[in-house]
Amino acid sequence: MDWSIFQFLAPAIAASLIIAGIHAYLGLHVVERGVIFVDLSLAQIASLGAAIAVWQGYDPHDSSVIYWMSLAFTLIGAVIFAVIKGHEARIPQEAFIGISYAVASAAVILTLSKATGEAEHLRDMLVGNILSVQWPEVGLTALIYLAIGVFHYVFRRRFLEISLDPVATAARGVSVRFWDFLFYASFGLVVTRSVAIAGVLLVFCYLIVPSVGGMLFSARIGPRLAIGWVMGVLVSMLGMYFSVQFDLPTGATIVCTFGLALIGMAAARPLFRRA
């Protein structure tokens, strides 16, 4: 084992820990709300924004216009998801999320087919690779996630009561739609950045798996969050280690490590039950 590799992996490790931190928390809400695939959908809507910017002739290597465009589309996505919740009695929200995902993905293909230049590179640019993340990007991401984390901490009770029981909260006269927009907007902000750094698959795992792992062992929010954080950090480190040890693509290795960890936790669960 060549340990000197870890000095090059330091930014990737830092990024994965930052992502693990905020996503384990947001994942709790996402799983509670039963909108499992909302991050994939929002990420795809953000990609559509970026693709449209490229189609309009903006240089895909100059990331600022692309980033603002994808951010604007994320906010549009947040509005859509906040508004469609009203119809949940008849049609499950997950159906709309799936439809948005499919349509946004297809629209990206259509937009890129009309863009000048080689479209083949663009898909790569929209989806990041955690191995190539650099310190300035990690620093900026940490600041943004810290701000969003503080925002969620301040309004944690409001977000939580809506996630757990939206009907009762609405009955008390709270504008669920407004708060849902805030939730999806801040969530979209995080997901768009994370996907640009780590790629779609990895971000999905950071969001959902720690939350599910926590639910295996506890019904209370606090312990679930704690288990999720510990799991996110341990799996990140273990995945990085496997990636170096067996020289495998880093993102996919962490994703599979998440899967193995969850199987291990599910197997260990009966032991804790009896105790």
Partner 1 sequence: MNFINSVSMNVRTLVVAGILAASLAGTVANAQSKLNVVTSTEDLGSIAREVGGDKVNVTALARGFQDPHFVEPKPSFILAVNRAALYIAVGRELEIGWLPPLLTSSRNAKIQPGAPGYLDASQNVRILEIPTGQITRAMGDVHPLGNPHYWLEPGNGRLIAQAIRNKLSELAPADKAYFAQRYDDFDRRLAAAEKRWDATMAPYKGTKVVTYHRSWPNFMARFGLEVVGYVEPKPGIPPSPSHTIDLVEEMKRSSIKLIVVEPYFSLKTPQAIANQVPGAKVLVLAPSVGGVKEVTDYIQLFEYDVNLLAGALKQITGK
Does residue 64 bind partner 1 (CB under 8 A)? no
165 binds partner 1 (CB under 8 A): no
By CB under 8 A, is residue 83 in contact with partner 1? no
Beta strand ranges found along the chain (DSSP E):
none
Question: By CB neighbour count within 10 A (0-12 exposed, 13-18 middle, 19+ buried), where does 89 fall?
Answer: exposed
Residues 256 and 99: their CA atoms lie apart, in Å, by 27
CA dihedral 169, 171, 174, 180 (to 10 degrees): 60
Q: How many residues does the chain have?
A: 275
Binding of residue 134 to partner 1 (CB under 8 A): yes
Residues 6+ apart with CB under 8 A from 217: 223, 224, 227, 265, 269, 272
Burial code (b: 16+ CB inside 10 Å, e: under 16) for 40-75 equals bbbbbbbbbbbbbbbbeebebeebeebbebbbebbb
What is d(CA 128, CA 255) in angstroms, rounded to the nearest whole number?
Answer: 15
126 or 225: whose CB is closer to partner 1? 126
Q: How far is the CB of 56 from partner 1 (least distance, A)?
A: 10
From the list 131-139, 171-179, 188-196, 207-215, the region that binds partner 1 by CB under 8 A is 131-139
Q: Which is nearer to partner 1, 120 or 275 (CB)?
A: 120
| Residue 140 contacts partner 1 per CB under 8 A | no
Closer residue to partner 1 in complex, CB, 34/117: 117
Looking at 43-51, 105-113, 162-170, 227-235, which segment touches partner 1 (CB under 8 A)?
105-113
Q: Which of 64, 89, 90, 118 forms a contact with partner 1 (CB under 8 A)?
A: 118
| 175 lines the binding site for partner 1 (CB under 8 A) | no
Q: Give, in degrees to the nearest 5, the angle at Cα 257 between 254 and 261.
A: 140
Q: Which residues contact 257 (CB under 8 A, 6 or more apart)?
A: 235, 238, 239, 242
Per-residue binding letters, 222-261, with partner 1 (x by CB under 8 A): ---------------------xx--xxxx-x---------
Q: Is 125 a residue that touches partner 1 (CB under 8 A)?
A: yes
CB of 82 to partner 1, least distance (A): 34
Q: Judged by CB under 8 A, does residue 269 bind partner 1?
A: no
129 binds partner 1 (CB under 8 A): yes
Find the shortest distance in angstroms from Cβ 2 to partner 1: 7
Question: Residue 99: how many CA atoms within 13 Å on its side-chain side?
Answer: 9
What is the binding site for partner 1 (CB under 8 A)? 2, 4-5, 8-9, 11, 57, 61, 109, 112-125, 129, 131-134, 243-244, 247-250, 252
